[in-house]
Amino acid sequence: MVSNMKPKLEDVAKLAGVSKTTASRVLNNRGYLSEKTLKKVHDAMETLNYQPNAAARQLFKQETGLIGLIFPTVSNPFFGELVNYLEYELYQRDFKVIIGNSLQDTDKETDYLNQLLAGQVDGLIVGTHNQGIAEYKYSHLPIVAIDRIMNSDIPIVESDNYHGGVLATERLINAGVKHIVHTNGPSSLETPAHRRRVAYETIMKNNGLEPHTFTIDFKLSFAEKKRRYQQLFDSYPDMEALFVSNDVDASIIMAIAKERGRKIPEDLLIVGYDGTELMRNVMPQLTTVVQPIEEMAKIAVDILLKRIAGDKTESEYILPVTLWEGTTGHR
Amino acid sequence: MVSNMKPKLEDVAKLAGVSKTTASRVLNNRGYLSEKTLKKVHDAMETLNYQPNAAARQLFKQETGLIGLIFPTVSNPFFGELVNYLEYELYQRDFKVIIGNSLQDTDKETDYLNQLLAGQVDGLIVGTHNQGIAEYKYSHLPIVAIDRIMNSDIPIVESDNYHGGVLATERLINAGVKHIVHTNGPSSLETPAHRRRVAYETIMKNNGLEPHTFTIDFKLSFAEKKRRYQQLFDSYPDMEALFVSNDVDASIIMAIAKERGRKIPEDLLIVGYDGTELMRNVMPQLTTVVQPIEEMAKIAVDILLKRIAGDKTESEYILPVTLWEGTTGHR
């Protein structure tokens, strides 16, 4: 049934065991369709690697006026500010946003993806810390990822994580310390944030220093994170500095350091990551790498609208980072 | 045309100059209706104070599976955590959420209300700092307010703002200080948060102390807030303590105090408000009044679902607050 020629809609219909009309309705999100029919047709599209043409894709265009945003939780300042800017940008272009906080419920991502497949939203912007989901193989869908590697067909918007890692590590080395520990998420998560670790380890080695990366899952509760960071202090009693992969965790570490009588910056240097507007105002003393959250949101929206229109996009958009000089990164 | 009897749908239709079928379609959100027709019929419903019966209201029930949440901005930790919990609770009950951040755009609230009127969402949970909107006079609509006074027909969920004001003010008075300044939003905003001010002023007077309330708009940018809080320090050079109406502003004030060489708690005491999980972990030293955000979200969702089902609800739900004892509220 699978020919060497470019597959046609009738091939999809035949493989799915439905009429061509039904297959067309699935493709164009028209009329009522059962979950089962949707799945059969999408499975057949996947098996045959069927790519609808631009005209067919145009039919997706602004059907619902809704865009789904799937991020771990808006209660984290980085995602809160990102979602705030995404909502603002999309509203300017007559889209409303549906949000799904996926931190407490990893199935939610599949659920929203099915919504997209069923034509209940026009596009998705995703940035979760969940593991890869098989359905993202439908590469023709209007999806944009922020700070997350999906597959080669889904464009990623990210800040320059490698350069951020370089800025943070060099800041600490230039302050004269040698025993620098880095915290980052488990490497099983496919996120460009791991380039921060690669940069840290490379710069440390280039300076004849031994890298020490402490792995911690972003999803842990505050109480669990505190317990893990107490272990970090126990594991590295001689540590002189920390490059922490996000500012909220950097604050938790600063509170633990205080409890343990480690003075910052006298006895311990800290550089964080993210540099949200909130954290720069609430903890201006924290030296941190600033991600351009507003620009990341603008570009993600631009690219998503291009995808919805069926236009070509790049596969990766990397935006520059800067260093916020507080008082915790040097003496 | 306006009779003394309970108005019927045909009275609405007559006044609006449309057929009874059209008026019914407006009421039940069926079929395509122009903005103009919607407005004419809703205006007539308002003029006649027309109340649809429970059966008509049942038709609103879970039409779209979407609930609109309108809050100033999810980039503020209080609203970020609130929206996170609301989304979690609603998702458990098969609703998805549309969010509108209204801080940068006060018209957005009217837009979302029109969505509700047009049947594109099943209900709204609102908690904005915007001024009252005329459309909320449609008191039969499934709307719940959080920390905001709308009209007597729309239920409010709030924490015990008066008791919170008492806890904060008594904490400071018991610490032995006399010159205590309170910050709060402009009294033109109709929010129960003003009860914090009433409690502060009452407790101060009961203790023979002079209250000083410093008014500041929540909507200001961080830069503008900093400028205003510098003015606060200039206006009250002898101030010994501050009861600040939210924790983010308390942090800004703490940073300014540091710049000015005022040591906390030695030279200046601070008690904040909100007590989000984020702020309690990022700034555990800040003594603050903790609002039960998760419980507020749960109750708001319960009440909204009752409103959607046409069941009766109370007009006000007040939840208890607690004091988080950091190190900034006493010596």
CA distance A61 to A99: 20
Q: Which of A99, A222, A255 is facing B87, going by the closest CB pair?
A: A99
Whole-number pLDDT of residue A9: 81
ipTM surpasses cut 0.95? no
**Residue A4: what pLDDT?**
47
DSSP state for residue B75 in the 8-state scheme: T
Helix (H) or strand (E) holding A115: helix A107-117
Position A57 pLDDT exceeds 60: no
- Tens of pLDDT, residue by residue over A271-314, are 999 999 999 999 999 999 999 999 999 999 999 999 988 888 99
Task: Please report the pLDDT score of residue A26 as a whole number.
Answer: 78
Residues in chain A with CB shorter than 8 Å from the CB of B87 are 74, 99-101
pLDDT at A56 over 50: no
A84 touches chain B (CB under 8 A): yes
Are B75 and A84 inside 8 Å of each other by CB? yes
Q: A97 vs chain B: nearest CA distance in angstroms?
A: 5
Q: Average pLDDT, stretch A248-260?
A: 96
- pLDDT tens digits, A3-12: 446 677 888 8
* Domain spans of chain A, in order of start: 9-51, 161-291
pLDDT, tens only, A110-164: 787 777 777 778 899 998 755 555 555 655 678 999 988 777 778 999 999 999 9
Q: Is the CB of residue A155 less than 8 Å away from at least one CB of chain B?
A: no
All residue ranges of chain B with pLDDT < 50 are 1-4, 54-62
The confidence score (pLDDT) of residue B52 equals: 63
Query: Does any CB of chain B come closer than 8 Å to the CB of residue A311?
Result: no
Q: Which chain A residues are within 8 Å of B105, Cβ to Cβ? A: 88, 91
Rounded CA separation B208/B199 (Å): 14
pLDDT score, position B1: 38
Q: What is the pLDDT of residue A134?
A: 55
CATH classification of B161-291 is 3.40.640.10, yes or no? no
Of the listed ranges A36-40, A242-246, B211-215, the least confidently predicted one is A36-40
Q: Helix H segments across chain B?
A: 9-16, 20-28, 35-47, 54-58, 77-92, 107-117, 161-174, 194-206, 222-235, 247-259, 277-282, 293-308
Name the residue among A74, A248, A277 with its Cβ closest to that of B83. A74
- Which residue of chain B is at minimal alpha-carbon distance from A81? B75
**Residue A14: both structure tokens together:** 């035949």
pLDDT the model gives residue A174: 97
Asked if A96 is an interface residue toward chain B (Cβ–Cβ < 8 A), one would say yes
Per the CB < 8 Å rule, is A108 touching B96?
Answer: no
B161: contact with A, CB 8 A cutoff: no
